[in-house]
Chains A and B, each alone.
Chain A
Amino acid sequence: MAHILVIDDDEQFRGMLVQMLSKDRHRVDFAVDGEQGLRFLQQNKPDLIITDILMPYKDGIDLIRTLVLSGNPIPVIAISGGRRFITAEFNLESAELIGVKAALAKPFGWAELRSAVAKALA
């Protein structure tokens, strides 16, 4: 049972993710974009961060870069639906290059999420 921070700008998807992780008995907090996520992280130390990549203001890649540069030890799972000419794979690959533990392309199933969480927390 871990403390997880979910960062996603899509309200409905974020709600689903929070509920799914809660059903798996994790303690879940959420943020609506990278900025809010970073503010939360200044005060809290969750066991895992699950962040969307394409978000307004501060996107996921930018957030992960900030975390890596500040020596953050919290594992990160990147999730994305892809936009414009950038496919979900491309984004998720870039996320993995900068130290993300696991990457998931939306839409994904519960089993995929569980295995990514287990892998990131291992």
Chain B
Amino acid sequence: MKAVFERYARLLHEVAVETTPGLMESRLMQAYDQGRNLLDQGVSPDEVIHMHHAAILQLAQLRPDFTLAQVAGSLTLPLMEVSMSYGMAFREQMEQRYEAKLKLRVSQSSKLEATGTLAAGIAHDFNNILGSIVGYAEMAADDLDKNSEARKCIEQVLIASFRARQLVASLLTFARQTPVTSEAADVVELIREILALLKASLDPAVQVCFTSAMEHAIVIGDPVQIQQVVMNLCLNAADAMKGKGIIRINLDAAQWHQDHRDEIGCGLCLSVADTGCGMRPEVLARIFDPFFTTKAPGKGSGLGLSVVHGAVTQLGGKVEVDSCTSGPKTGTEFRVYLPWPDAETAKQ
């Protein structure tokens, strides 16, 4: 390899010192071929381009009579080759990055699983800590006058502790690896039930519109988990609309490509679409990450969509999302695919 380099450097030097116009051109062509050989042999474009730069400087020094255009022009061909090779390398790099991104998507589920394990481990110790906080705070409150400032402060400590208890409960739900119950559940009925509860807590300016292509839609799973999926998606939709807009929930039969497996899923598609502000691609890429939230501190745990992803994966389904931040279609649509029970399970 060293010999090739030296020959290349010598050729470039000869181009520089050659005064006969015809000969100089022929040497240039040789240098050009040689440069290409170097690239073919796997020498990095960086090194080749570095040699060209050195040669250009040398040429400029040795031939002050050359115009800048002549200096640059005499070496343009090999340089173009190098820049093309750069382009190829860049494209390859982009392709590799894209592949890495795909792999990242595939590993999303296992990442969530690992976080779940960690979360559950923390949850236990956290409950112990909270237990001490709640207990001591209650004892302190008991000793204080009902109208005292200190008593009011302690009451806030207790309220905060119970909020933390809710968060830990979500963590444990998220970490749950197997459904607590696995039974035939009618998704239509479950949605109606949870919507009745949700409507009471949503802003009156938020309309919820539920349509279903079927009267009953039976899947096998934990009813609580299914309702949690619907609830979390609706709460997210309501947040995105800032208290005003329409949430459209639709249920229909569907087929889908199951990720990581060359299989077609067959079951139902539950879509939750909002007329909210939509999500930018960088937000969209992270929505299923545990603890990722765009809400103000204290407004969201960042677990809602992780719980959705975990629950749907556990039910053997898939989540898809489309979002648009401008134009008439501004808003977000989540599609949750859940499989029909297979013949074996349906019999049981």
Contacts and interface: CB of A to CB of B under 8 A. Distances in A.
B133 interface: yes
A57 interface: no
A105 B135 CA distance: 13
Interface size class of A (residues with CB under 8 A): 20 to 34
Given A19-B139, A82-B172, A87-B172, A108 B178 contact: no
Given A23-B139, A87-B172, A110-B139, A81 B131 contact: yes
Contacts of A15: 132
A16 interface: yes
B207 interface: no
B161 interface: yes
A39 interface: no
Given A13-B132, A108-B131, A81 B123 contact: yes
A84 B121 contact: yes
A15 B136 CA distance: 10
B165 interface: yes
A54 B176 CA distance: 18
Nearest to B143: A23
Contacts, number: 78
A71 B244 CA distance: 64
Given A13-B131, A106-B130, A82 B124 contact: yes
Interface in B92-130: 117, 120-121, 123-130
Given A20-B139, A85-B176, A85-B178, A107 B131 contact: yes
Contact of A84 (B117, B133, B134, B139): B117
Contacts of A17: 135
Given A87-B172, A107-B130, A13 B135 contact: yes
Q: Is the interface of B mostly helix, strand, loop or mixed?
A: helix
B279 interface: no
Contacts of B127: 81-82, 88, 105-107
Interface string A4-42: 000000101101110110010000000000000000000
Contacts of A73: none
Contacts of B138: 20, 109-110
A121 B117 CA distance: 38
Nearest to A85: B177
A114 to B, nearest CB: 11
Given A19-B139, A107-B127, A109-B138, A83 B133 contact: no
B83 to A, nearest CB: 56
A66 to B, nearest CB: 23
A82 B131 contact: no
Contacts of B133: 107
B175 interface: yes
25 contacts: A10-B132, A12-B128, A13-B131, A16-B131, A16-B132, A16-B136, A20-B135, A20-B139, A54-B124, A81-B124, A81-B127, A82-B123, A82-B124, A82-B172, A83-B120, A84-B121, A84-B124, A85-B117, A85-B176, A88-B127, A106-B130, A107-B135, A107-B161, A107-B165, A110-B135
Interface of A: 10, 12-13, 15-17, 19-20, 23, 54, 81-85, 87-88, 105-110
Q: Which 5 pairs from chain A and chain B are nearest by CB? A: A81-B127, A16-B135, A83-B124, A107-B131, A107-B130
